[in-house]
Structure 1
Amino acid sequence: MRTLVPILTVLVGIVVLWYAGAVWLNSAWTLDQAARSGAEPTFIDIVNDTMMQERPVLPAPHQVAAEFWKGVTGQKVTSKRSLVYHGFVTLQATMYGFVLGILVGVALAVSIVHSRVMDLSVMPWAIISQTIPIVALAPMIVVLSNAVGIEDRLIPKAVISAYLSFFPVLVSMVKGLRSPDAMQLDLLRTYGANRSQVFWKLRLPSSLPYFFASLKVAVAASLVGAIVGELPTGAIDGLGARMLIGSQFGQPLIMWAALIAAAVLAGALILVVGLLQRLAERRMGVVR
């Protein structure tokens, strides 16, 4: 209950500001229409009109909620208008990219911790890679995929997702694998443990809290990568494609409903990662 109250307080504040912003941004259309007809609307008239416009600049929360509910329950999940269908398409690319990002991040982290050459050569380039805007990089990945004959649109989206998700895993795993102090390392060496045994018995267990913390960031970044990857591929399926369609055809409600669906999907993925973390900690005997 103590954690629920602050969350609800922030949520209420966001909704209030959202409604205020909707009235402010949508009132220009209302006043323009009133000026053309020679009417003088009251403040209540302005508020009422800004809450029900078909193509508002900023849709009101209840309009977005209604469109979201319609997209989830208003048609079959196999329909091209179903947010469940589009969410599944985006989720598929997200998970492929997420898994690929984990494999690349962990592999690079292990090599960096065990090799000074890798640390000095790879780590700076990994950091530099994150300074490149993904919006600029995504079309390049799509073009290169087409150039090498890859016709499956899922692959470039997964690569873009992996590009965004590997870095938090890499940084956190390097920190986690290096977290054991000198006394712990000396103790294992005293017992005659080799490098492999030190890794499996000490370094890897010590890195798990860092690893799961990075996964929560990585899975959200992977989802962003999948959505961004849908924009330059010309995809007609997926939440990113749904946002693009809403923007191109002047349907802000479709765009905002897809955005809310993406936020819900991200929250669900983070909850799943948290559940996996608790299961792993319980198996290792960690008591909260």
Structure 2
Amino acid sequence: MLRFPVFAVFFLLAAAGWSAADAQEKPSGPQPSQCQAIAQSLPKATFASFSNQGPTPANDPVNGDVKITFLGHATLFIETPGGVSIATDYSGAYPPPYTPEVVTMNKAHPSHYTLTPDSAIKYVLHGWSDTPGEPAKIHLTVGDTLIRNVVTDIRSWGGGIEPNGNSIFIFEVAGLCIGHLGHLHFELTDQQYAEIGRLDVVMVPIDGGLTMGADSMSRVVKRLRSSLILPMHRWGPPVDQFLALFGPDFDVAYAPTPSVTVSVKTLPRKPLIYVLKGL
């Protein structure tokens, strides 16, 4: 297992240009990413994983369950051990059970964002920059959760390319690295994989073409090597067409409910594609 001292992580962030000023919202305090490592810049490197560690004390930051609920389309509701609530790709069309503290958005389609969110939402994080030509830069700590983004290009409505129009949002909480690929239109570069780092849980669009084809998306999933894969954004092709692209190296299961509860201790040892009810 690869381990890096805290000062080394701070050095890497500084070298990459990260700072507290990179947040679109004022962070509660600087916090380095625990999901990135030097080795991730190498395509064939094995990412560090915490899934096989022993018992943790009750006050340890990696001790706790994260609940993820599929609400609809690309909106999933994340509830952390520290009480932080997050709705992904929030448009207001798929309301959570209560007002979330944080919402993330992507502007590829109106079903992924709203310009008139509930005023009670404390943090509204856009996956695009309000400054033309600039990438969105988010590095924000809310309670027990570090939220950051990695930008990707998208296809524009006119058929061209819109640079940095999508954000992959990453939520680091309870020792887990949880990623939402957003409206991903192109396969990731080595640099983007390195910026993402380790993802224990990944939420993946499986529409088969509105984002990108199932073959391309399956290659991204295989490269990320996440323990838990949660399909989302199904539109058109049945789920089985996406699942058929994975061989015996992946398990598949259908959830009896729209929710899954996950922790460092309960991550599957073999990658599991888990289809939440309602997809």
TM-score of the superposition, structure 1-length normalised?
A: 0.21
Please state which structure has a larger fraction of its residues in helix: 1
Higher strand proportion: 2
What TM-score results when the alignment is normalised by the length of structure 2?
A: 0.21
Larger radius of gyration between Structure 1 and Structure 2: 1
